[in-house]
Structure 1
Amino acid sequence: MGQVFERLNDRWRRFIADQPMYFVATAPSGPEGHVNVSPKGYSDTFAVLDDHTVGYLDLDGSGVETIAHLRQNGRVTIMFCSFTRSAKILRLYGRGSVVLPSDPDWPRLLAHFGPHPGVRSIIVVELDLIADSCGYSVPTMTEVAERDLLDRLARRPDTVARRVDRAGDHRHSIDQIPALAPRETDPAHQHS
């Protein structure tokens, strides 16, 4: 039986820090459209900002679903699950916002994360529900290593050129929900 928690206490902060990955889920408003679930890695891209606020570094990748959904309705769930002997799942429900390099909070927030190229935005989530569940069916797995492919690709000249071109266009979700305006962010040159 799961429990609801008032805040991200030290126990939950340690649990979050110990997980090599997490999942971010968002959905468009209304009954139509596609629910999106994104796996996230790099242990230094997630931060507990206070007892009721978390953030993560949004690195440029293949799509803009999370940004589009958050700008449309703000709803987001972040899930951590333990792949070690401790069978536990933690879900963080809340309202997310997209922080861009032009925002006044950018430098303060960026300081919470490790060095990565290809930074598009920072997602900040104000939590309204913190809940756990058993995780009894989650397999135990051994982490071999963090995969550095996204960082390596971000440094390649062809990737930089593609990101420069893409930054000049309107970006939309797969359901054509607006996400980013031209030149609103610069993941080709923005680093944490």
Structure 2
Amino acid sequence: MGRTYDAITDELATWIADQPVFFVATAPLDADGHVNVSPKGGDTFRVVSPHEVAYLDLTGSGAETIAHIRDNGRLTVMFCSFDAKPLILRLYGQATYVRPGDPGWDDLAPRFPDHPGARAVIHLAVDRVASACGYAVPQMELVGPRTRLDEWAAKRGDDGLVAYRAEKNRTSIDGLPAFDAAPSPTP
């Protein structure tokens, strides 16, 4: 059954490391703005400390998470087990991000494998850790990782990714600023 923890325990950190997918949820402060939930994977999540996590943000078609972090910093990360032992785990807190070249990048980025489309590291100061049973989540088997995003990013190259972000990642769907020339906050 559900439980609240004071911090991310060693047992939970090990369980998190075994999960092939996680979800991030954000929302703007504006009540008319869109709530965003985004699936993530590809060995891009790390527990940094019992109250701190980070994940590698890869270039994609949108930039809602960055825009919402800039707007209010709220972020929830959810893991759910699809194997025989059901569990849902949510990490709540205040997020910041660092981009390549920003202060903090050289500390956080080396924790992850290289991905050609890496555009930021999202850093979460965790203030709540809560589990739920997960009994309604289906049991499924993992076939394997997808490689298409890395292949797409590698084909575009650094200059192509910068141009893509300028075209597709400048603002959120609600018009909030996402990736622009403004300096990013540091963790």
Query: How far is the alpha carbon of 1:150 from its aligned partner?
Result: 0.5
Q: Is the 8 A contact 2:166 2:179 kept in 1?
A: no
1:81 is aligned to: 80
TM-score by length of 2: 0.92
Query: How far is the alpha carbon of 1:163 from its aligned partner?
Result: 2.3
Output the CA distance in 2 between the equivalents of 1:29 and 1:105: 26
Query: How far is the alpha carbon of 1:69 from its aligned partner?
Result: 0.1
2:162 is aligned to: 164
Question: How many residues are paired up?
Answer: 183
- Paired amino acid for 1:146: P
Where does 1:51-62 land on structure 2 (aligned, <5 Å)? 51-62=50-61
2:95 is aligned to: 96
TM-score by length of 1: 0.89
Output the CA distance in 2 between the equivalents of 1:121 and 1:32: 27
1:6 is aligned to: 6
Output the CA distance in 2 between the equivalents of 1:10 and 1:164: 38
1:188 is aligned to: none
Query: How far is the alpha carbon of 1:66 from its aligned partner?
Result: 0.1
Matched residue of 2:12: which SS?
helix
2:173 is aligned to: 174
Query: How far is the alpha carbon of 1:30 from its aligned partner?
Result: 2.8
Output the CA distance in 1 between the equivalents of 2:58 and 2:65: 12
Output the CA distance in 2 between the equivalents of 1:162 and 1:184: 21
Matched residue of 2:79: which SS?
strand
Q: Is the 8 A contact 2:59 2:165 kept in 1?
A: no
Where does 1:1-40 land on structure 2 (aligned, <5 Å)? 1-40=1-40
Query: How far is the alpha carbon of 1:102 from its aligned partner?
Result: 2.5
Matched residue of 1:116: which SS?
coil
Q: Is the 8 A contact 1:167 1:182 kept in 2?
A: no
> Which consecutive unaligned segments of at least 5 residues does structure 2 have?
none
Matched residue of 1:180: which SS?
coil
Where does 1:112-131 land on structure 2 (aligned, <5 Å)? 112-131=111-130
RMSD over aligned Cα atoms: 1.8
Report percent identity of matched pairs.
Answer: 49
Output the CA distance in 2 between the equivalents of 1:46 and 1:66: 15
Cα 1:33–1:168 change in 2 (3 A) is closer
Query: How far is the alpha carbon of 1:134 from its aligned partner?
Result: 0.3
Matched residue of 2:143: which SS?
coil
- Paired amino acid for 1:132: S
